[in-house]
Amino acid sequence: MDTKLRDIRKNSITKVVAFFLVVLLITAAVVQMQYLFCLRKNPEVLFVKEYKESGEFDRKVNNTFLQIIECIENEQEIGKDADFYYYIADGNKEYSNVENPSKNFFEQYEDTFYGLEKGNWEQGKHMKYNILENNYIENPEKYTIYFSFPDEFMTQKQQEWENEREILTPYVIAIMICFIFAIALIIYLMIVTGRNSKDKELHLSRLDNIYSDVLLFIFIIIGFIWIMIMIEYSNRVIQISHTMSLEKIFYLILVGGATVLTSISCLSIFLSFVRKWKGRKLITHTFIYQFFYRIYDFIKSLFDGRKLEKYPLTKSLFYRQLVFIVISFILVFFTFSFLIVPPLFLFPPILEAIVIYWYVKYNNQTFEEINKGFNQSLEEQMKSERMKVALITNVSHDLKTPLTSIISYIDLLSKEENLSDSARDYVNILLDKSNRLKQIVSDLFELAKSSSGDIHLDLEILDIKKLMEQTLGDMEDEIKKSGLQIKINFIDHPINIYSDGNKLYRVFQNVIDNALKYSLKGTRIYIELEERNGKALASIKNIAGYEINFTEEEILQRFNRGDKSRSTEGSGLGLSIAQSFTQVCGGEFNIIIDGDLFKVEIGFPIV
């Protein structure tokens, strides 16, 4: 049961669902907060129980005081619709919206009373707002001011205050629930990100390949854009009425969409940070760290000789050189330092000469050891190559005699008249396979001779165009049997080169035969001959009937065949022989692979 729960927790679908739930919860919380902002709801109602103790009432008192100042400055009564009682007197004029104004009348509203007499302010015992902090009246000694708020007004405001709290409370609870669940799911994602139920390894995503500081920059930019959208939205909403409208609904949709995109982007980047932190590469996988680390590593590599670990002699040269440089620098420093002391300045040059002698002596010994090792390695390599060629030559030669006898006896056996049909089929198969084996042995022998350089060449001036036409004519039966079309594009005039006609004939025969064996059925083989940069360039290209999953170098290796299933008859030596014969005749042999297009280019200088 625990294993199943662990598998579910680390399941990709579970993580994707949790990811998008976080996005939806954050978006829901933000949209609800913006909706409350649209309705101009004051969040203070959630924290202050009494209206008279709120900042809202403080602002009301301040606005009332400003109206009184305006009345004094303009010498004009405040409108009859004022929601507060007031009395203003300057010794000459009196303004009031109360029939019998007296201080006792205003003091009966002790919680909302403010008064100015003889330059001194007083206020109700429960009043939070200190009007002395905003005393803008000049010569307050000549004014008498009383104002207070009736109980009906305060009761109504208190009721509105409580009603607004009742409206806000469910939204606040919903917003808190959204954030709590979102935080819980984020913690879950932090735990399971980079893990799966199959193993305990940490699996990084493509996003984690981006440097951490680049991701942080993107994170900040996305957050900044989102904040700017919120500010722009708030400025627009302030200019609209308190009620919901189509324009406010449009802005809410815009805020929701922006929050969804921002949440997806920022949460993805945050989880990438978590995975990097788990893999202990959060700091090391930053562009800044990598930049300075590579500079440090490069400087360090100049002195630690790490590139020479496999070469002890070269490594000893490196460290000897390093010691020589350091000692020489110190001695030069002391030479200049001792110039003012005549007897002492001679010691550094003497020591420098000793160091130079030591450096040159041991370097010469190391060079001798390197040369000795190089020559020994070269001799072993040449010996190995000669033994390999000799082995192939001897084996090929020794196989020829018994193989010829086998073929002769099979030929005699095939002429017997009393053989059954099945026996005759077997004999024909033996004859075909033995002839193929004879051809492989012959190819091995010729390849060994050409590789060793022990091959006879009859070099002469010949027309390569005529040689290619002769090769195609001799292979007419094989071409018809293959069912493939040959498209020829030769230059009009003869092209003379200096080569061995027999060997070059074998080259073209092998290359064309290779194209006939391995081309895709129903396609064409293109054979071209042209002049280019003073060379005769012949090319044979075809579409392979199998997936080309090898390189140009691999296909030229001996016994290597492009058709890995080996469904066609071939020894894997044809192209190797063609390349070897071309090179010993003084030409160039190149293979070009482009997708499933296989192209052979053979070039010779024109004479």
pLDDT tens by residue, 167-197: 888 989 999 999 999 999 999 999 988 888 7
How far is residue 131's CA from residue 62's CA, in Å, rounded to a whole number?
8
Predicted confidence (pLDDT) at residue 132 exceeds the cutoff of 80: no
pLDDT tens by residue, 41-56: 788 888 888 888 888 8
What percent of the chain has a predicted confidence (pLDDT) above 70? 81
- By residue count, the chain amounts to 607
Greatest mean pLDDT range, 24-28, 92-96, 330-334, 478-482: 24-28
Q: What is the mean pLDDT of residues 31-41?
A: 81
358's tokens: 């030591």
pLDDT tens by residue, 230-275: 888 777 766 555 555 677 788 888 888 999 999 999 999 999 999 9
Out of 61-70, 102-111, 405-414, 496-505, which region has the weakest mean confidence (pLDDT)? Answer: 405-414
Out of 261-270, 300-309, 425-434, which region has the weakest mean confidence (pLDDT)? Answer: 300-309
pLDDT tens by residue, 55-91: 888 888 888 888 888 888 887 888 777 889 898 888 7
- Spell out the domain ranges in the chain: 2-40+160-278, 51-149, 458-605
Q: What is the mean pLDDT of residues 18-43?
A: 87
Out of 102-116, 395-409, 577-591, which region has the weakest mean confidence (pLDDT)? Answer: 395-409
pLDDT at 304: 67
How far is residue 110's CA from residue 298's CA, in Å, rounded to a whole number?
81
438's tokens: 């004879």
**Which residues make Cβ contacts (< 8 Å) with residue 21, sequence separation at least 6?**
181, 182, 185
Q: What is the pTM of this model?
A: 0.51
Query: If pLDDT is split at 50, 70 and 90, which confidence band does 332 have?
Result: confident
Greatest mean pLDDT range, 38-47, 222-231, 447-456, 498-507: 222-231
Query: 214 versus 41: which is more confidently predicted?
Result: 214
Q: What is the mean pLDDT of residues 91-111?
A: 85
**Which residues make Cβ contacts (< 8 Å) with residue 332, sequence separation at least 6?**
348, 352
Please give the helix or strand (H or E) that residue 116 lies within, else none.
strand 114-117
257's tokens: 């969409």
Dihedral angle sign, alpha carbons of residues 27, 31, 32, 37: positive
Using CB atoms within 10 A of its CB, is residue 279 exposed (0-12), middle (13-18) or buried (19+)?
middle
Burial 156-179 (b: 16+ CB within 10 A, else e): ebbeebeebbeebeebbeebeebe
pLDDT at 566: 44
Q: What is the CATH number of domain 458-605?
A: 3.30.565.10
pLDDT tens by residue, 519-577: 888 889 999 999 888 889 999 998 887 777 677 666 665 445 444 444 445 556 677 77
Name residue 89's beta-bridge partners: 94, 144
Q: What is the mean pLDDT of residues 124-147?
A: 70
Please give the helix or strand (H or E) that residue 166 lies within, else none.
helix 151-192
Q: What is the mean pLDDT of residues 423-430?
A: 76
Rg of the Cα atoms in the chain: 49
When the pLDDT of each residue in the chain is averaged and rounded to a whole number, the result is 80
Q: What is the mean pLDDT of residues 475-490?
A: 88
Query: If pLDDT is split at 50, 70 and 90, which confidence band does 337 have?
Result: confident
Query: If pLDDT is split at 50, 70 and 90, which confidence band does 19 have?
Result: very high
> CB of 580 within 8 A of CB of 447?
yes
Distance of CA 394 to the CA centre of its chain: 56
pLDDT tens by residue, 359-377: 777 777 777 777 777 777 7
**Position 463, amino acid:** D
Question: Helices 312-337 & 347-414, crossing angle to 10 degrees?
Answer: 160
Burial 421-458 (b: 16+ CB within 10 A, else e): eeeeeebeebbeebeeebebbbbbbbbbbbbeeebeee
What percent of the chain has a predicted confidence (pLDDT) above 90? 16
Query: If pLDDT is split at 50, 70 and 90, which confidence band does 136 have?
Result: low
